[in-house]
Every structure is written in structure tokens, then in C-alpha cells.
Amino acid sequence: MATRKNLTADRGSVGHKVRYALRNPTRIAPYVRRAARDGWLRFKHPDHVGYYRAVMASDTGRNPEAAVGSRTHERWLALGKMQFDYLTGHGLAPRHRMLDIGCGNLRAGWRFIEHLDAGHYYGIDISPDILIAAKRTLADRGLQDKLPYLTITQDLTLDFLPDRHFDVVHAHSVFSHSPIGIIDECLAHVERVLAPGGWFDFTFDRTEGAEHQVLREDFYYRTETLLDLAAGHGLKARFMDDWEALGHGQSKIRVTAG
């Protein structure tokens, strides 16, 4: 399941796209179709949240599991288990309250819901379509008695959530699709909702070269950029080497109150 990372490529550059196309000719047509679709959606929705919500609606309509980045059901299960095993290995206990930012169709969320005490899981997402898929996952897994919260959000100010409430905040494959302003917004507000001793884990697409984006869907950041951004809000942040050792395509940072 390990994914090899290219930490120097600028995937948005013409040169990289040409080289990739020459190595993978069968992917040219799908990329052109996606680029055309994304261009139209960006025209209709100039703000990033509106744009990415439209992307998710389009992707979810075809396949909810693929919409959250899993090409097969087996991959969907495996990636969810990886997230679950990592957090439980770091002490996530049934008594803890968890906020899952970008919960998607509960790829990992159903495992968290099963593990946590009833009412202790709160999932938010910008996409109503993927939340409908999440409710199907919940029903399919027979987890209705766990009474999870599944709520749509427009931003990451977290202003509708209570102070010092969540022991664990989790955002998997969210900042990898977010411009820096949205990441900054989340880091500016997450400390308020963290319980004493709580932590916030997020993944990101890491680069050691120039920071860049592809189709306004995928954003690549240097580790120092995000560590400095967290520090600017009085937060402690560290790169999680043990997550890196698992071979996931994205890297992980953990944030705690300063």
C-alpha cells in the first residue's frame, strides 16, 4: 500500500505534464476531460469552496468512494483502516470526542464511530452529496445507535462548535485540496474547540521544491510553510515521522495548543 513520493516535481508545470503524458499516454484523455470540467466549474464558481463543492458533486455522482480518493473498495477499506489504526495507536479512546473535518463518505469515519462512545463523533464536510453517501455508509454498517453528527459547513471557522470540546480533531486529505487561506483559517480557529491536552492531525501533499497546485484541486506545500503558519497562531506543530513510515502518499502534521 506504500506510495512513492516525488518531493521535487512541480506537477503544474508544462514540462512535468508533457513528461507524464509521454510515460502514461492512456491517461491523456481522462486528464483533458477533467481539466475541461474543472475549467467550467471554476468559471461557474469562482470561490474555492463553491468550486470544490461542485467537483465533489460531480465525482460523488459517479462513485462516492472514488470521490474521496479510493479507486477500489479494497483501497477505500485499507485507507480508512490506516487512519483508524494510526489514531487508536496514538491513544484515541472511546471516551474521546472527535471532530472529523472533511469526513467524506466515512471511509475512516465509520470505524471511528464504531470505536467511540455514542454521540462522540462529529463529521463535517462542504459537500452535501458526500454527506448523503456518508449516511448510506452509516446505515450499511448498522451504526445508527451511535448517533454521530454529520453536518455541512461553508468554511473552517468552526464557529458553530463549542469551546474546548474535542479531544481529537482530524483532517485527512483536506488541506491537500485547499489553498493556503483556508488552511490559515482553520489553524486560526482550531485551538478554541480543542479540549485541554487535545490534538489536531492533518495530512497534506508535501513538496521540497516550489509550492504549486494542479487544476485548483491538488495543492502541494513545503513542511516549513505549514509549521510556520501554525506557529503564527500560537500553536505547536510537528511533522509526524511515524505516519511517514507507513508509506501513505500524503504527509502528516500534528498541532497542539501552544
With respect to residue 6, please indicate whether it lies within any of the assigned structural domains: no
Residue 163 Cα distances to 9, 154, 156, 194, angstroms = 41, 19, 15, 7
Is 21 within the bounds of a domain?
Answer: yes
CATH number reported for the structural domain that contains residue 30 in this entry: 3.40.50.150
Query: Is it the case that residue 8 has pLDDT exceeding 80?
Result: no
Q: Assess if residue 42 is contained within a domain.
A: yes
Residue pLDDT, tens place only, 46-102? 999 999 999 999 999 989 988 888 889 999 999 999 999 999 999 999 999 999 999
Q: Is residue 48 part of a domain?
A: yes
The domain in which residue 113 lies consists of 14-257
Phi and psi dihedrals of 152, rounded to 5?
-80, 150
Domain-located, residue 3: no
Q: Is residue 228 part of a domain?
A: yes
pLDDT of residue 4: 59
Q: Residue 166: how many CA atoms within 13 Å on its side-chain side?
A: 24
Q: Is residue 119 part of a domain?
A: yes
> Which residue type, as a one-letter code, is found at position 148?
P
> Is 134 among the domain residues?
yes
Q: What is the pLDDT of residues 95-143, one digit of tens each?
A: 999 999 999 999 999 999 999 999 999 999 999 999 999 999 999 999 9
- Please state, for a pLDDT cut of 70, what percent of the chain lies above it: 97
Amino acid at 88: T
Q: Structural domain tally of the chain?
A: 1
